[in-house]
Amino acid sequence: MTKTINLTLKVWRQKGPNVKGRLETYQARDISTDMSFLEMIDVINEQLTLDGTEPIAFDHDCREGICGMCGAMINGRAHGPESGTTLCQLHMRHFGDGDTIVIEPWRARAFKLIKDLVVDRSALDKIIQAGGFVSVNTGGTIDGNAILVPQDIAEKAMDAAACIGCGACVASCPNASGMLFVSAKVSQLALLPQGRPEAAMRAISMVRCMDDLGFGNCTNERECEAECPKEISIVNIARLNREFIKASIVSDVK
């Protein structure tokens, strides 16, 4: 038999970036513990719509922990209480009957609030555009795969490439730093031979873009690593620092 719980939700509601927002309280009754967190919000929104109230705006897409679209602070933690889990993968069985859940958007200067729980994370896309790519002519697929990469290096690059760009690291950091995100994107390319020709340009351009967009500085608080749903390691930040120092010495990027 499916277990159900009753919850009190305190949800941040804000109609727009220039409008004052506030926490509003809703009662979530008979919520199945088999539901995901986003399915629970869907149920609340359906009831709000039937009551003639504007539903809660929130980001979502694949709901499979892949796209990085979903994200909110749940009782002060990015993506909720479970480690290595995106918001869409969080299930209501992790909450108890009668619990109060506070739901807030990412809060960072670089992420402008759009509405309710929706924030503009295009700053992350701009960082990728600044240098998160390679422009080598590898020929056909067979030619590209002919470049030998040691297994341990390939695994480290894949671990960094697991970053889905959800922004939880930024939202969790007391400085709203983007270093874990940037370091993951730099690492996945810097570790591979295809990424070495543009390594210096990439490190300088992406760090400069991050600074220009208003992200804070990294002070090794490690909240980013603790809350990352893909468990990206801060070892990547150390690698980014090394890449940036080397690039500062040899690069002619102005």
* The amino acid at 189: L
pLDDT of 36 reads 97
Least Cα distance to 229 among 84, 46, 64 occurs for 84
Are 101 and 126 found together in one domain?
Answer: no
Least Cα distance to 244 among 202, 193, 195 occurs for 202
Q: How far is residue 224's CA from residue 236's CA, in Å, rounded to a whole number?
A: 12
pLDDT of 146 reads 74
What sections of 7-100 are H helices per DSSP? 37-50
The CATH number that applies at residue 59 is: 3.10.20.30
Are 212 and 230 found together in one domain?
Answer: yes
Are 85 and 157 found together in one domain?
Answer: no
pLDDT of 214 reads 96
Are 224 and 193 found together in one domain?
Answer: yes
What are the backbone dihedrals phi and psi of residue 224, each rounded to the nearest 5 degrees, phi first?
Answer: -60, -50
Are 204 and 224 found together in one domain?
Answer: yes
pLDDT of 252 reads 64
Question: With DSSP H G I counted as helix, E B as strand and the rest as coil, what are the percentages for the chain, rounded to 5?
Answer: 40, 15, 45
pLDDT band at 129 (very low <50, low <70, confident <90, very high): very high
Q: How many domains does the chain have?
A: 2
Q: How far is residue 91's CA from residue 5's CA, in Å, rounded to a whole number?
A: 12
pLDDT of 143 reads 65
Are 195 and 128 found together in one domain?
Answer: yes
> Residue 148 belongs to what domain range?
122-250
Q: Which two tokens stand for residue 207?
A: 């760090």
Are 59 and 9 found together in one domain?
Answer: yes
Q: How far is residue 111's CA from residue 46's CA, in Å, rounded to a whole number?
A: 28
Using a pLDDT cut of 90, give the percent of the chain over it: 89
What residue has token string 């008979």? 30
Residue-wise pLDDT for 167-211, tens only, equals 999 999 999 999 999 999 999 999 998 899 899 999 999 999 999
pLDDT at 70 over 60: yes
Residues β-bridged to residue 36:
91
The CATH number that applies at residue 143 is: 1.10.1060.10
Are 37 and 64 found together in one domain?
Answer: yes
Are 147 and 109 found together in one domain?
Answer: no
Least Cα distance to 106 among 162, 65, 59, 167 occurs for 167
Pairing outcome for strands 77-78 and 100-104: unpaired
Domain end among 80, 114, 148: 114
Domain end among 114, 136, 165: 114
Segment 86-104 shows an average pLDDT of 97
Are 139 and 203 found together in one domain?
Answer: yes
Are 71 and 130 found together in one domain?
Answer: no
Domain end among 79, 114, 149: 114
What sections of 145-251 are H helices per DSSP? 151-161, 168-172, 179-190, 199-212, 223-227, 235-250
Q: How far is residue 42's CA from residue 35's CA, in Å, rounded to a whole number?
A: 10
Are 126 and 246 found together in one domain?
Answer: yes
